[in-house]
Amino acid sequence: MYFDEIVKDVFQEINLLEGRGEVASYIPELRKVDPEKFGVYLSTIDNSGFGIGDCYEAFSIQSIAKVLSLSLAYRMLGEKIWERLGVEPSGTAFNSLVQLEVENGIPRNPFINAGALVISDILLTKLDHPKEEFLAFIRSLSNNSKINYSPRIATSEKNVGYRNVALCNLIKSFGNIENEPADVLDFYFNLCSLEVNCQELSNLFLFLANDGCTLSGRRVLGQSQAKRVKALMQTCGFYDESGEFSFKVGLPGKSGVGGGIVAVHPKQYAIAVWSPRLNHKGNSYKGMKFLEEFTTKSQLSIF
């Protein structure tokens, strides 16, 4: 299939839409991003790719990084990881405290903030040099040694991260955080600050399109583990709009409040979209529209 023609046609169509939504203003550094940026890159498992628009400009992936931290923790801990995390959609805001208290400090899934904090705690326990080793993992997935954290964005998030501080301390009070909350939060804010462009992001997620293996054949996750990570992306990857994305797009995916979305089609491709204007649920307005049209016109979804 000629993906490049479909990507180009849908991009041009969506680019004509009125720029609805707002950038994530509650994080000061994200407020500075040009809201009109729009880029798309598609990478296939036969090692081809096509990009358009602002696809080579780096942006903060924010919550998309939660899939990558989960993958590393899952690889290290195996099925024991689910003793500390649920696998159900939350149905509430990604930073909700209420549900966490009712459920005794066990986050509903790894992609809400509480779940990502537990994953961060696991990695702090398992890794000797967590930030350095997690970054090395990311670089090895993408075969790109230039990917890095953004100290500017991490500091910006830390300065306004009061609710995340509350979440981490609440989980700690239930005994589901082992390390010091300040250390867990520092790691969490850094992983959310990772900056990549659409090409790099789509390449990062090709291992999930390829049953847990990089294109060079290195196994990152077991086939069953990769399947479960994609299942969580399908059901929990878009905050409390996950059902809408599944209904309209039909692919496992993950969004971030930096305006990025990545989605994978098993045994086919990974596609990354970036447009910073967010809808009222915190997902990229144009990104959601693009992927809906793309799977409709390509007639390729998992359903």
Dig out the tokens for 46 from the structure: 């036969």
Distance CA 255, CA 253 (A): 7
Residue 96 marked as a ligand binder = no
Residue 157 marked as a ligand binder = yes
Q: CA distances (Å), 152 to each of 29, 32, 163, 268, in order?
A: 7, 12, 20, 36
Residue 257 marked as a ligand binder = yes
Residue 164 marked as a ligand binder = yes
Neighbours of 24 (CB within 10 A): 20
Residue 159 marked as a ligand binder = no
Distance CA 250, CA 253 (A): 9
Query: Please, what is the Cα angle at 102 between 187 and 125, to 5 degrees?
Result: 25
136-142: list long-range contacts, CB under 8 Å, 24+ apart: 137/68, 137/72, 138/68, 138/194, 138/204, 141/68, 141/203, 141/204, 141/207, 141/214, 141/220, 142/196, 142/200, 142/203, 142/204
Distance CA 76, CA 124 (A): 12
Residue 149 marked as a ligand binder = no
292-299: list long-range contacts, CB under 8 Å, 24+ apart: 292/248, 292/249, 293/10, 293/13, 293/14, 294/6, 294/7, 294/10, 295/249, 295/250, 295/251, 297/6, 297/9, 297/10, 298/1, 298/3, 298/6
What residue numbers does the annotated binding site cover? 63, 113, 157, 164, 188, 239, 257
What residue numbers does the annotated binding site for substrate cover? 63, 113, 157, 164, 188, 239, 257
